[in-house]
Structure 1
Amino acid sequence: MTTQDSNSIYHQLIATELLQWQTAMRRKPNFWNRTTKKVQKKVNSIIPEKVHKAITKAIKEITRAVIFGSGFTTRTRREVKTLEEIEIKVKERINFYSSSAAVEGAATGFGGFLLSLADFPLWLTLKMKMLFEIASRYGYDTKDYKERVYILYIFQLTFSSQQLRNEVFEKMENWEITKEKLPNDFNAFDWRTFQLEYRDYIDLAKLLQLIPGIGAIAGALVNHKLTNKLGKTAVNAYRMRDERFREVKMLNP
């Protein structure tokens, strides 16, 4: 089999995976999604506004520090590689970060309540670092402000309700149009929705990390599973921007 034939077969497999993923991202909220969202909204309405503001500010500042940190200006890789070669390396990095997140989750879970509080910034840093590396592997310049917003959209797409997932996916699917409309001020990003959706998505799973005896196991499993999920979302999000798969988008408008 020639290299060209191998690439063609790989592209066909990827096209199928991408179409399945796009279909899942476009799926409308079902009864369970809507019911869960209503319950979460009710709970959030009970929480005092000053608490929401404090949490929003904390998440915003932590995320900004990660996004703009000097350690996250990953150099864009310019060497020419096939998509298959790129994705072999990407999957290696996803496995690395998923395993690292599992170790971190186990350590903080084993330490009880106080150490579990430290899990949020540590785990967030690992996830963002992974996204930066994935973007770089696919050839995107992570120094570009708009590429960093795309990274935030990937994060949101993974840790959101199905309703918001539909909205974010539409922006990403039409990225060339979306990025031209982005405000120049990073503060204009909807941080309130970002933190509420993220908290609602992971709260139940992460609560298990606070329970003595099983906290370490829960922390390891949750961190590994969700970090891996984020990595897979990123892979498909960057595949979607590849000109070779534009026809996939046309198959399922």
Structure 2
Amino acid sequence: MKIENKNLEGDIYIVNGGVKKMDEYEQKALSELASWKKKVAKKSGRLERMSKKAQIKMNSYIPDRVHKMITDSIKGMIEAVLSGSKYMSKEKNVVLLSLQQKEEWVAETVTAYRKTAIIEGVGTGAAGLVIGLADFPLLLSIKMKLLFEISRLYGFDPNSYEERMFILYIFQMAFSSEEKKLETLGIIEEWDAGNLPEMDWQEFQQEYRDHIDVIKIFQLVPGFGAAVGAYANHHLLEQLGETAVNCYRIRLLKE
């Protein structure tokens, strides 16, 4: 089904030369997408800016081996995604499903992966520093598997290099600074598989590290690491799921 033209302010669009009226769910999805874009574009308040400064200060106290663990994990994730060798799963036939049916399936998938991440966060958070460090690569793997599943559920093929790059941009969109989110949103809105932008891999790593370092480092603290691990992993998977849904909506409801 090819969308040739669409007015995002109304509920009529052209499909394969004919006029199709948006159903109630598609209108709702379009409204939620607009609200999400406004949230992304919204400037942070004073409290958020102060928290960011505190985070930057805290980063200087994080042990070098933790920084190295995160960096090595991200490098490994990028290599696995680009090679397409690790996150492939059984393909689901979603071609004829409506947007609502696809997103119901996506919601169920996000819930399942979120539960897995919570269990993993509790286990590694309660086990102390050494095992707690293992949470970083484990959580990255869970996040990537989720994104590959979501890609398939929306009808895209993550076997292709272009779609794997799109997945990495979703990841960057979810876990980066305000400025980088807006920049990445622009790339996603103008997505052209035949003209892929260059990805700054060093910046990609640093943005992710800056985004999660402080909350995840508390997971390594004896006594309340399990609680922090559960909360952090729940929040991070919810954030990733919301970002992925809206990024794919941009493509499916694109003007």
Normalising by structure 1, we get a TM-score of 0.80
Q: Deviations over 1:16-49 (max 9, x none)?
A: 10100112223345556666666666777999x9
Structure 2 runs not aligned, ≥5 long: 1-20
**Distance change >3 Å, CA 58–CA 123, structure 1 → 2:** closer
Alpha-carbon separation, structure 2, partners of 1:224 and 1:133: 18
Question: Which residue of structure 2 aligns with residue 250 of structure 1?
Answer: none
Aligned residue for 1:209? 219
Residue 108 of structure 1, CA deviation: 0.2
Which residue of 2 is the match for residue 110 of structure 1?
126
Shift in alpha-carbon separation, 1:58–1:129, aligned structure 2, 3 A: closer
Q: CA 1:204/1:41 → structure 2, altered by over 3 Å: closer, same or farther?
A: closer
* 1:77 CA drift (Å): 3.2
Contact 2:219 2:225 in 1 (8 A): yes
138-147 vs 77-86, which moves further: 77-86
Find the counterpart in structure 2 of residue 246 from structure 1. Answer: 254
Aligned-partner SS, 2:251? coil
User: If each structure's strand is expressed as a fraction of its own residues, which one has the higher value?
Assistant: 2
Task: Tell me what 2:12 maps to.
Answer: none
Partner of 1:59: 74
Q: Cα–Cα, structure 1 residues 98 and 55, in superposed 2: closer, same or farther, change >3 Å?
A: closer
Structure 1 match to 2:35: 20
- Measured on the aligned residues, the alpha-carbon RMSD in Å equals 3.0
CA contact (8 A) 1:67 1:128 kept: no
Structural mapping, 1:147-186, within 5 Å: 147-176=163-192, 179-182=194-197
Q: Return the alpha-carbon distance in structure 1 between the equivalents of residues 131 and 59 of structure 2.
A: 25
Aligned length: 234
Over the matched positions of the two proteins, sequence identity in percent amounts to 43
SS of match in other structure, 1:175: coil
Aligned to 1:97: 113
Q: 8 Å contact 2:175–2:211 — kept in the other structure?
A: yes
Cα deviation, residue 85, structure 1: 0.7
Would you say 1:190 and 2:200 are equivalent positions?
Answer: yes
| Shift, 1:73, TM fit | 2.6
What TM-score results when the alignment is normalised by the length of structure 2?
Answer: 0.80
Q: Mean alpha-carbon deviation: is it higher for 68-77 or for 189-198? A: 68-77
Cα separation, 1, equivalents of 2:228 and 2:152: 31
Higher relative contact order, chain-length normalized (CA < 8 Å, sep 6+): 1
Q: Identify the residue that residue 3 of structure 1 maps to in structure 2.
A: none
- Alpha-carbon deviation of 1:142? 0.2
Alignment partners' CA distance in 2, 1:207 and 1:11: 40
